[in-house]
Amino acid sequence: MYSIRQEQMREYIENKNVATIKELQSMFPDVSLMTIHRDLDTLQKNGYVVKFRGGAKSVRLAGDPEFNVRMRENNSGKMAAAKKALELIQPNASVFLDASTTNLALVKALPDISLNIFTTGPSIALELCRLHNPVVTLCCGTINRKNLALSGQNTLQMLSEINIDLAFIGVSGCSVEAGFTCGTEGDMLVKRLVIQKARTSVIMCDKEKFNCLMPYTFAKLGDVDYLICDTAVPEAFSRAAGENGLKIL
């Protein structure tokens, strides 16, 4: 039964890409939590899964998809979200934009107004060069070649010393239980710090991200002010957002 249970776990995680401990416990209600963890340890040792706090993911799911892949996904939805985001931006504000492709859509639609813009996305900084009025600061740090985002201790140090009126944060997954998640520890630390620093924080999300779980939670629903989505959000998420003071645009 032991090896059969592990094989069932492996197949479930492979099919879903990511699974929580709670999901695995519901599959095997007669098995203790400690046994679930031991099974995952064995699967990880054998190279089938990668454990993280609260669950495990398939080895095929190595963090976020590559930047050029994400650039081709749901472009109409990103533009719809970008138009909503523009309504929150006031002249002369201090704005942070992370390296998400939804934020890239936002800067492509941004009018040439006076702003102080900080970003961890080299692609976003380059796109902003077409405008004359914003002051653009590209944060220092180590670049992730996969998602083209800057992170690391130098990034955190720089961000800790600036004031942010409005922050737009991309997300790789969101759910009522896990909150807002991303694929790397470096991105998690940057996003978490920016949310703490910003007067107003905005999550940029498309419909594909709901109920998608990534390894690192950077915020819970009550930690941010707005969520901008390209379509209506699931009813359960909308209800939980209202209970936590999160406004949905």
Return the closest-CA partner of residue 174 out of 157, 191, 161, 159.
191
Q: What is the pLDDT of residue 2?
A: 56
- Helices (H), ranges, 138-207: 153-160, 185-197
Give me the mean pLDDT over the 48-77 stretch.
65
Q: Are strands 179-182 and 173-175 parallel, antiparallel or unpaired?
A: antiparallel
Q: What is the pLDDT of residue 59?
A: 62
In this structure, what are the phi and psi dihedrals at residue 206, rounded to the nearest 5 degrees? -115, 170
Give me the mean pLDDT over the 227-244 stretch.
93
Q: Is the pLDDT of residue 212 over 80?
A: no
What are the tens digits of pLDDT across the range 75-127?
Answer: 677 888 899 999 999 999 999 999 999 999 999 999 999 999 999 999 999 99
Cβ atoms of residues 160 and 193 within 8 Å: yes
Q: What is the pLDDT of residue 65?
A: 52
Q: In whole numbers, what is the pLDDT of the chain averaged over residues?
A: 89
Residues in Cβ contact with 36 at an 8 Å cutoff, skipping those fewer than 6 apart: 21, 24, 25, 28
Which residue segments constitute the domains of the chain, with CATH numbers given? 2-58 (1.10.10.10), 67-248 (3.40.50.1360)
Residue bearing the bigger pLDDT, 231 or 37: 37
Q: Are strands 247-248 and 198-205 parallel, antiparallel or unpaired?
A: unpaired
**Confidence bin at 223 (pLDDT 50/70/90):** very high
Q: Is the pLDDT of residue 47 over 80?
A: no
Return the closest-CA partner of residue 208 out of 236, 234, 185.
234
Q: What is the pLDDT of residue 3?
A: 78
In this structure, what are the phi and psi dihedrals at residue 124, rounded to the nearest 5 degrees? -70, -45
Give me the mean pLDDT over the 197-217 stretch.
87
Q: What is the pLDDT of residue 227?
A: 97
What are the tens digits of pLDDT across the range 166-188?
Answer: 999 999 889 898 899 998 999 99
User: Which single residue is written with the structure tokens 């800067």?
Assistant: 107
**Confidence bin at 71 (pLDDT 50/70/90):** very low
Interatomic CA distance for residues 180 and 220, integer angstroms: 6
Q: Is the pLDDT of residue 133 over 50?
A: yes
Residue bearing the bigger pLDDT, 173 or 208: 173
Q: Is the pLDDT of residue 13 over 80?
A: yes
Q: Structure tokens of 206?
A: 């498309």
Amino acid at 120: T
In this structure, what are the phi and psi dihedrals at residue 237, rounded to the nearest 5 degrees? -70, -40
